[in-house]
Structure 1
Amino acid sequence: MDRWGMTIPFFDQTLSGSRELIAALPELGYTDAWSAEVSGMDGFVPLALAAQWAPELRLGTAIVPVSTRGPGLLAMSAATLADLAPGRFVLGIGASSPVIVENWNSGEFVKPYARTRDTLRFLRAALAGEKVTQAYETFEVKGFRLENAPAVPPKIVLAALRPGMLRLAAREADGAITNWVSPSDVRKVRAELGEGTELIARLFVMVGEDAARVRESARRMLAAYLTVPVYAAFHDWLGRGDVLRPMQEAWAAGDRRAAVKAIPDEVVDDLIVHGDAATCRARIREYVANGLDTPVLAPLAGGDVPVDQAVRDLAPVLG
C-alpha cells in the first residue's frame, strides 16, 4: 500500500480540537501522522495523543533537532513513543538551524553534520538497551542506559537536504526526510540517496483554484524559508540559485516586501501543491512516481476551503 501522510497538529487547529479529525485519518486512507518542532508544539506530545486516538497510524517526528535536547533526554522521549506505538514510531532527527538552536534555545549550532551523525549513533545504541559510555566528536556520554528500553526500537530517519547528509542517511539511518521540493527535485534527491532507503517529504498544499491568491499567500512563507542559509544552499544545489538570488539580496538588504515580490510564479508552482483537490492529489502522485516513498501533506490555510475540509478532500481514498 502506498504511504500517504498528514502533518499534525493541523495548521489552524489546537491539538485538543484535533482529536476527531486525527481519529478519522485512517478511514480517509492516511497511513501516517508526522509532527514537526519549530516554535509551536513540541514533536512528541501530539504523537503520544495520536497513538491513542488513531492506533492504526504510523507516527513520526519530522523533525526534532539534535541540539535542543541532551542525547539522553532525546532517547527517553523516543523510547516513550516507541512504547506507546510499538513498531509504529519513526524518530526523525536533524540539525535544524542556528535560529532555532541558538536564538530560541540557547544552544550551540556547531558541526551540524557531525552532531547529527553522533546523535544517530548514540540513539542506535541507547534505544537497543545498551549502556553507553562514549566520547563522540561533538559530545560525550558517560554511563547512560534507558531504564525501560523499548521492546521494538524505533526506526531513525534523518533530515537531509544535500549529498553529505543524504549519503549518511543511506549508510546509517532508516530513511531521509526532505522539504520544499518539486516532483522533479525528488529525482535528484533520490539519486544521491540511492534505492532501498525510504524517502519522506513534507508537501505544503493549498486547496484553491485562485492561483494568484495562492501565490500571494505562499510567497510570504517561501521567503521566510528559502532565505535560511541551509535552504538557500539546498536550492542552489537543486539549480534555483540564480532565480532566487534577487529574493535573497532584497532580504539581506532588509526589504522584505521586495524579497517576497521577487519570487517567480514558477518557483511557487514548483514548491507549493495547489489547485482543486483532484489536481492536488494528482500532483502528489507525481512526487511518488519520481521516487518519493512517503508524502506528508501539510494543508495550508488561505485556500478555498478550511484546513479541516482540505484534509478530507485530499484523502487518497478519493483519488
Structure 2
Amino acid sequence: MRLSRTGIWSIELRTADPHEITDAAAELDELGWGALWIPGLGGGDVIGDAERLLRATRDATVAIGVASIWRHRAADLAAGHTRLQAAYGRRHLLGLGVSDPAAAHDAGRPYRPLADMAAYLDRLEQEPTPVPPGERVMAALGPRMTELAGRRTAGVHPFMVTPEYSAEARERLGDGPVIAPYQAVVLERDPGRARAAARDFLAVFLGMDHYARSLRRQGFTESDLAHGGSDRLIDGVVAWGDVDAIGARVRAHHEAGADHVCLHVVGADSATPLPQWRELAPLAS
C-alpha cells in the first residue's frame, strides 16, 4: 500500500461527535492530507470508526495506529479490513501492536511479545479473508520487533521516536519496508509553554516501561526521563514552534529514511484541533 509523505494522527477523529468527525475528515481530505490515523485506544469498534472516515473522504488512506492484539480478535479485524478495502477503494491500513504486559494479563495470557505478534500475524493470514502483509504495519520499537515487521508486514509505525531512530530503522530494515513514525507537534513558539504542553501529554507514556526502554535505546538517560522529561527529551520527541520548525522536523525524519510522518497536534485549546490542522496544511502531501 502506498502512503503519502505526511498525514494526521488524531484521537479526536475517534472520540469527538460523529458529525464533527465527518466534517473534519472531509476537510482534511480536501486540504491534501494523504493519510488519517486513529489510535486503537482501549479497543472498541475501531473498524467502524475507520469506516466513518473512509465514508467522509475520497483520497486519504485511513490507518489504524494501532489496534492491540489483545483487544481485537484476528478474525474480526481480518473480516472488517477486507470489507473496508472492497467498499472504499483499498484505502485502509491496519496497524497492530502488542501493547504491554498489563494488556496481556487482562486477556488472561502470558506476555511474550515476539511470539504473540508472530502468532497473531499467522492467524490474520489463515482467516477466510486474510490481511495481506502489504496492508498491515506494526508498532515496532525494539530491534527484534522491527525485524519481524520488516519480514511480515509493510513496515513500522513507531511512537515517540527521533529522526535518529528513523535512520537506525532504515539501516536495520533496508530498502522497501515502510517507516511511518508518529510525531507529536505543538504549534507554540514560546519554549516554556510549548514544553509544558508536551510534558502534559507525554507524562503517562514516560511511566510505561516499554516506552522508557525505547527512549533509553535512543540515547536518553534516566535523568532525561525523570520529572516529566528533560528539555533534551521533550525537544527530541516533540516538534514545537511554528509551521517552519515543525516542517524541519518532518524533513529530518524523511532525510533519515522515513517514508511517511503522521503529525499529532497536542496542547490545542479546542476539542478538535481544526485550526492547527489548517495551519499545518502546507506540510500536507
TM-score (norm 2): 0.88
Aligned mates of 1:119, 1:176 — CA distance in 2: 16
1:313 to 264, 279, 284: 279
Q: Which residue of 1 aligns with 2:261?
A: 295
Code of the aligned partner of 1:91:
L
Does structure 2 conserve the Cα–Cα contact (< 8 Å) formed by 1:207 and 1:305?
no
Shift of the 241–9 alpha-carbon distance from structure 1 to 2, 3 Å rule, reads: closer
Aligned mates of 1:176, 1:37 — CA distance in 2: 16
What is the Cα deviation at residue 114 of structure 1? 1.0
For residue 111 of structure 2, give the secondary structure of its aligned residue in structure 1: coil
Does structure 1 conserve the Cα–Cα contact (< 8 Å) formed by 2:43 and 2:67?
no
1:64 to 59, 63, 67: 67
Q: Which runs of 5+ in 2 are unaligned?
A: none
Q: Does 1:87 align with 2:90?
A: yes
- Seq. identity, %: 24
Aligned mates of 1:224, 1:198 — CA distance in 2: 28
Does structure 1 conserve the Cα–Cα contact (< 8 Å) formed by 2:182 and 2:261?
yes
Aligned mates of 1:98, 1:244 — CA distance in 2: 24
What is the Cα deviation at residue 294 of structure 1? 1.1
What is the Cα deviation at residue 101 of structure 1? 4.4
Code of the aligned partner of 1:27:
E
2:199 to 215, 219, 222: 219
Moved over 4 A (4+): 303-306
Q: Which residue of 1 aligns with 2:151?
A: 171
Q: Could you report, residue by residue, the CA deviation over 1:125-162 in whole angstroms, capped at 9, with x for unpaired residues?
A: 32xxxxxxxxxxxxxxxxxx35xx78x88611111001
Aligned mates of 1:41, 1:72 — CA distance in 2: 15
Q: How does 1:13-32 map to 2 (within 5 A)?
A: 13-32=16-35
Does structure 1 conserve the Cα–Cα contact (< 8 Å) formed by 2:187 and 2:241?
yes
Aligned mates of 2:283, 2:263 — CA distance in 1: 15
How much is the aligned-residue C-alpha RMSD, in angstroms? Answer: 2.7
Q: Which has the higher contact order (CA 8 A, sep 6+)?
A: 2
Aligned mates of 1:197, 1:318 — CA distance in 2: 22
Q: Which residue of 1 aligns with 2:111?
A: 110
Shift of the 304–71 alpha-carbon distance from structure 1 to 2, 3 Å rule, reads: closer
Shift of the 232–45 alpha-carbon distance from structure 1 to 2, 3 Å rule, reads: same
Aligned mates of 2:152, 2:134 — CA distance in 1: 14
Shift of the 81–166 alpha-carbon distance from structure 1 to 2, 3 Å rule, reads: same
Aligned mates of 1:318, 1:34 — CA distance in 2: 14
Does structure 2 conserve the Cα–Cα contact (< 8 Å) formed by 1:87 and 1:154?
no
Q: Which moved more, 1:92-101 or 1:176-185?
A: 92-101
Shift of the 159–35 alpha-carbon distance from structure 1 to 2, 3 Å rule, reads: same
Q: Could you report, residue by residue, the CA deviation over 1:244-269 in whole angstroms, capped at 9, with x for unpaired residues?
A: 35x2xxxxxxxxxxx32xx2111111
Q: Which runs of 5+ in 1 are unaligned?
A: 127-144, 248-258
What is the Cα deviation at residue 306 of structure 1? 7.2
For residue 36 of structure 2, give the secondary structure of its aligned residue in structure 1: strand
Aligned mates of 2:188, 2:81 — CA distance in 1: 37
Does structure 1 conserve the Cα–Cα contact (< 8 Å) formed by 2:201 and 2:267?
no
What is the Cα deviation at residue 296 of structure 1? 0.9
Q: Could you report, residue by residue, the CA deviation over 1:34-65 in whole angstroms, capped at 9, with x for unpaired residues?
A: 11112486432221011111021111111101
Aligned mates of 1:313, 1:65 — CA distance in 2: 32
Q: Does 1:33 align with 2:13?
A: no
Does structure 2 conserve the Cα–Cα contact (< 8 Å) formed by 1:9 and 1:18?
no
